Every structure is written in structure tokens, then in C-alpha cells.
């Protein structure tokens, strides 16, 4: 019985210790997230060309897709990749069943076909806006006459 009384005595101290530990962990996570966001913003500023504006930004952990008025940028673990919008041949949405679709709400992923094939998964809150704008840009590229002679 005496041992139980001793434990009850230290319980508030342990509670405060756990609370302080949780606050320290939360603060460290927030600091890390802010540091990553600042590093991404600096990297994006160095990559953007003059008169290039950002239309849609989709971020998920270390995977960023940025649509500008001139290019589609992918900042992944391998580094920054730029896809000029004029080189995009086709944008195709794929459902969970593997069927093609044009409805951004039903898309599981987008396949962007340019010089290489790029797959954008539906993990972002701005995914639907990105899908709409990419499809519009691809259709504009098809309508524009090519200047090759």
C-alpha cells in the first residue's frame, strides 16, 4: 500500500514531463517542416525564368509538381525536372480500374506524354485543378499549328 501512495505522489510530475516532451516533439516537427518549405521556395525561385508565373502547386512530402505558364516542373527526390508545355503531346487521366477518363474527379493518376512519360498520382488537394489546366494546355498545343517546315 505504501508503494501505491508513493506512485500517486509522482504521477503529476510524470504527466508534466510527458506534456513537455510532446511539446518539444511538436516544435521540432514544425521547425523541420518550415525549413523544408523555405528550401523548396528558394529552389523554386532559382528555377523560375523571367516572366514565368506559377499557376498550380501540388505538394506531397518530398514530391512537388508545379505548373507555370511555360513549363511543368517536378521537384522529386532525384532533383528538378522541367517539361516545356509546348512539348506535351498528350495528357491522359486513368481511373482506378485502369480506364482512361477526362473527368478530373475520377482520375487516379495523370499520364503526361512529352519526350518521356511522366505519371502524376492523385495525392494532392490541388490535383483536380492541375488536371484541368494540363488538359487545357495539351488541347491548345494540338490546336496550334506547328511551325516546322
- 113 vs 144, residue with greater confidence: 113
- Inter-CA distances, 65 with 1, 45, 99, Å: 62, 14, 23
The CATH classification of domain 53-143, taken from the options 2.30.29, 3.40.50, 1.10.10, 2.60.120: 2.30.29
Q: 58 with 130: CB under 8 angstroms?
A: yes
110, exposed or middle or buried, with CB in 10 Å at 0-12, 13-18, 19+? buried
pTM: 0.71
Q: How is the chain split into domains, by residue range?
A: 1-47, 53-143
pLDDT in tens, 108-120: 999 998 888 988 8
Q: Is the pLDDT of residue 61 over 90?
A: no
| Mean pLDDT in residue range 127-136 | 88
Nearest by Cα to 54 from 26, 75, 36, 35: 75
Query: In Å, how far from its chain's centre is CA 142?
Result: 27
Q: How many CB atoms lie within 10 A of CB 81?
A: 14
How would residue 149 be classed by pLDDT, with cut points 50, 70 and 90?
Answer: very low
- 40 vs 6, residue with greater confidence: 40
Q: Is the pLDDT of residue 4 over 80?
A: no
Amino acid at each position: 500500500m505504501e508503494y501505491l501512495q508513493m506512485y500517486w505522489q509522482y504521477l503529476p510530475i510524470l504527466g508534466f514531463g510527458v506534456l513537455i516532451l510532446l511539446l518539444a516533439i511538436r516544435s521540432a516537427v514544425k521547425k523541420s517542416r518550415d525549413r523544408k518549405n523555405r528550401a523548396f521556395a528558394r529552389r523554386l525561385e532559382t528555377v523560375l525564368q523571367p516572366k514565368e508565373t506559377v499557376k498550380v502547386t501540388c505538394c506531397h512530402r518530398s514530391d512537388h509538381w508545379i505548373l507555370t505558364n511555360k513549363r511543368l516542373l517536378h521537384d522529386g527526390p532525384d532533383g528538378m525536372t522541367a517539361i516545356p508545355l509546348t512539348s506535351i503531346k498528350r495528357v491522359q487521366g486513368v481511373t482506378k480500374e485502369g480506364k482512361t477518363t477526362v473527368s478530373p474527379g475520377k482520375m487516379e493518376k495523370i499520364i503526361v506524354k512529352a519526350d518521356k512519360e511522366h505519371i502524376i498520382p492523385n495525392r494532392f488537394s490541388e490535383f483536380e485543378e492541375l488536371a484541368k489546366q494540363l488538359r487545357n494546355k495539351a488541347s491548345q498545343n494540338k490546336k496550334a499549328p506547328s511551325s516546322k517546315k
